[in-house]
């Protein structure tokens, strides 16, 4: 009887170990939402015991790992293209998680006032056509601010990045010259500047380089106590990046597509911050491991309800209720 009991105990322990292993989820991708994702994953583990290990190594890296089948799901700040979706063995579903702002953070010696920038001016800075902080086009948007004749040091991402995808999508919408010469994408041929890895790397370079300007997700500028520009929107208003400005950008969206792949850059509205975007989790439409499927779908349901309450404190905007309702229905498509 002891042997039977021991055997039964071993089988029980084996299944318990397998269940535990199945509830460890590996994911990778966008650094743009990494601060809120890490908070969510910690909270969800404390609540359920499900461990989600997330590496914020950039949207392009996340999509590649998903395509290679080495992660359970990925994250991106730009929707996957049709060709990218076709390259994945199991079709991924796009789940918007929060909205955020890409901001222009700067380090201008002697300037403490808030700087204002228009879209074409930002594009010309990144094209290398504007090279001094006291250029007349920058000065025209900043009357009353004494700008120095300091060289502008452009800082951009060195890795494939959804933040870059959002930023270049915006620049292509506001500058025909940018669209023609550079275009949009997670990786582009930069005309000028220094490269930094991930949002943290760009923020670090700007902070230590006088005269520099770089683009990062809002939370990285806030956490590093760095100045960031107000940007002129499609209505002609200069808007400071904020929860309200991002929420207004989402409100200006006509309708969320069925597959959730949408750009809201340079949207309408007086209060809209123009470099705003959804960010997405890319979840396989079929998950063969029942425990992993339960863990991932359970997290998605929690993220769309309880998790949204964490957004504003970390400088993101929660999803509009209509988008949440639509996503809840999509969870049922995961087989």
Per-residue pLDDT of the chain (335 residues; tens, 9 = 90+): 444 434 434 333 333 343 444 478 999 999 889 999 999 999 999 999 999 999 999 899 999 999 999 999 999 999 999 999 999 999 999 999 999 999 999 999 999 889 999 999 999 999 999 999 999 999 999 998 999 999 999 999 998 888 999 999 999 999 999 999 999 999 999 999 999 998 889 999 999 999 999 999 998 888 888 999 999 999 999 999 998 999 999 988 888 999 999 999 999 999 999 999 999 999 999 999 999 999 999 999 999 999 999 999 998 999 999 999 999 999 999 99
Is the distance from CB of 131 to CB of 152 less than 8 angstroms?
A: yes
Same domain, yes or no: 210 and 311: no
Global pTM reads 0.85
Work out whether the CA dihedral 75, 78, 83, 85 comes out positive or negative: positive
Final residue of a structural domain among 218, 251, 284 = 251
Is the distance from CB of 101 to CB of 306 less than 8 angstroms?
A: no
Same domain, yes or no: 91 and 138: no
Compute CA 188 distance to the chain's CA centroid, rounded to the nearest angstrom: 17
| Residue 155 token pair | 């800082």
| Residue 179 token pair | 């669209």
Look at residue 256 and tell me if it is in a domain. Answer: no
Same domain, yes or no: 92 and 147: no
Q: Which domain holds residue 305?
A: 2-99+276-331
Look at residue 267 and tell me if it is in a domain. Answer: no
**Angstrom distances, CA of residue 92 to CA of 67, 69, 71, 174:** 10, 12, 12, 31
**Secondary structure class of 240 (helix, strand, coil):** coil
Same domain, yes or no: 116 and 174: yes
pLDDT at 55: 94
Pairing, β 116-117 against β 230-232:
parallel
Cα distance between the two ends of the chain: 42
Look at residue 280 and tell me if it is in a domain. Answer: yes
Look at residue 111 and tell me if it is in a domain. Answer: yes
Burial of residue 73 (number of CB atoms within 10 Å: 0-12, 13-18, 19+)? buried
Look at residue 263 and tell me if it is in a domain. Answer: no
Same domain, yes or no: 94 and 113: no
Q: What CATH number is attached to the domain comprising 13?
A: 3.40.190.10
pLDDT at 136: 97
Look at residue 156 and tell me if it is in a domain. Answer: yes
């Amino acid at each position: 009887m002891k042997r039977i009991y021991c055997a039964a105990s071993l089988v029980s322990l084996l299944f318990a170990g397998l269940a535990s292993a199945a509830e460890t989820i590996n994911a990778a991708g966008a650094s743009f939402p990494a601060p809120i994702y890490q908070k969510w994953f910690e909270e969800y583990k404390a609540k359920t015991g499900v461990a989600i290990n997330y590496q914020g190594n950039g949207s392009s890296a996340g999509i590649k790992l998903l395509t290679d089948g080495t992660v359970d799901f990925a994250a991106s700040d730009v929707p996957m293209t049709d060709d990218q979706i076709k390259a994945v063995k199991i079709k991924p579903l796009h789940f918007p998680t929060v909205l955020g702002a890409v901001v222009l953070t700067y380090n201008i010696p002697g300037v403490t006032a808030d700087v204002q920038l228009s879209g074409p001016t930002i594009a010309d800075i990144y094209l290398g056509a504007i090279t001094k902080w006291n250029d007349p086009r920058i000065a025209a948007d900043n009357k009353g601010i004494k700008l120095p004749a300091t060289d502008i040091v452009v800082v951009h991402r060195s890795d494939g990045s959804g933040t870059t995808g959002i930023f270049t999508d915006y620049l292509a919408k506001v500058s025909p010259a940018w669209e023609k010469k550079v275009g949009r994408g997670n990786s582009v041929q930069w005309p000028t500047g220094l490269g930094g890895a991930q949002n943290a790397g760009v923020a670090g370079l700007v902070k230590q380089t006088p005269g520099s300007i770089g683009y990062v997700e809002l939370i990285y500028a806030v956490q590093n106590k760095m100045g960031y520009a107000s940007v002129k929107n499609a209505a002609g208003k200069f808007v400071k990046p904020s929860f309200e400005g991002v929420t207004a950008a989402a409100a200006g969206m006509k309708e969320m597509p069925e597959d959730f792949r949408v750009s809201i850059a340079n949207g309408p509205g007086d209060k809209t911050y123009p470099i705003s975007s959804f960010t997405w989790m890319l979840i396989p439409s079929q998950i063969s491991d029942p425990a992993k499927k339960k863990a991932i779908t359970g997290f998605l349901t929690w993220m769309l309800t309880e998790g949204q309450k964490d957004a504003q404190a970390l400088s993101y905007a929660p999803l509009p209720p209509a988008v949440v309702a639509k996503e809840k229905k999509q969870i049922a498509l995961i087989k």
